[in-house]
Amino acid sequence: MEEETKKKKNNKFKAFIHKNMIPAYTSIGIAAFFLTVMITAQVTTISKSEEVLNGKRESELADSLVSLQKEYDELKQKYDESQEIVEEYQTNSATNNSLIASMKKQVETLELLSGTTDVQGEGIIITLYDGNSSGALVHDSDVLTVINELRVAGAEAISVNNQRIITTSAIRCVGSVIQVNYQKVAAPFEIKAIGNAQYLESALTMRNGVVDALNGYGLKVTLTRESQLEIPKYDGVVTFNFAKQGE
């Protein structure tokens, strides 16, 4: 009887378990299944997002690399061009120095010819005075005669009362005075000329030359040689409105 009673109890317990616990396990299993699906979906989504982000970063890095490569190439080209210029200058430095020296000498010569620089050197001073006893006055033509003779004799620089004579200088009488470079100057007229002093003096004092002619007009003339003369530069402005360099 006792064994039958135990079997009945076991059968009832199993029936209870079968009736109540299996649905519970089934619910738990279903819940676990869906939870697993959701977790898997999230992991897949995260992985795909990372792939997209990684792809985007790689694209941006690639663009940056291309941009940096382009900037490097441009800088490298400029550097190479600069190096070529430096090398060319170094190679031709001797030639460049000779060229610069030659150009500088040409500029100095042009300044001397144009009268735009102070000059000094040996020469003569010839001074023209009005004739007190004769009443003769020095005219612009007398000054011009002396200047022309000095130029023919090789004078390299000339001034009248410290007015530098250049190619465009104007000398003319205005009343009792003479204008030189549009500046009024009065007697006595001191004419300085730089050049071979002996030759200049000989050209003016030759027989029946300029000095003899001026003395014949009743003017007083003095002439001295100088081992060192100073003639100032032309202080006016030279402009050319019509004359242009030929092609």
Question: Which tens digits make up the pLDDT trace of 41-82?
Answer: 554 555 555 555 555 555 665 666 666 667 667 766 776 777
From the number of C-beta atoms within 10 Å of its C-beta (0-12, 13-18, 19+), residue 203 rates as buried
Distance CA 157, CA 154 (A): 9
Domain limits of the chain?
1-91, 118-231
Closest residue by Cα to residue 161 from 134, 131, 128: 128
Confidence of residue 8 (pLDDT cuts 50, 70, 90): low
Q: What is the mean pLDDT of the chain?
A: 77
Quick: pLDDT tens for 147-191. Answer: 999 999 999 999 999 999 998 898 998 877 899 998 999 999 999
* Alpha-carbon separation of residue 160 from 49, 58, 85, 166 (angstroms): 98, 86, 51, 11
**118-231 to CATH, choices 3.30.360.10, 3.40.50.720, 3.90.780.10, 3.30.70.1880:** 3.30.70.1880
* Location of structure tokens 């100088």: 226
Peptide bond into 188 cis (omega under 30): yes
**236 vs 92, which has greater pLDDT?**
236
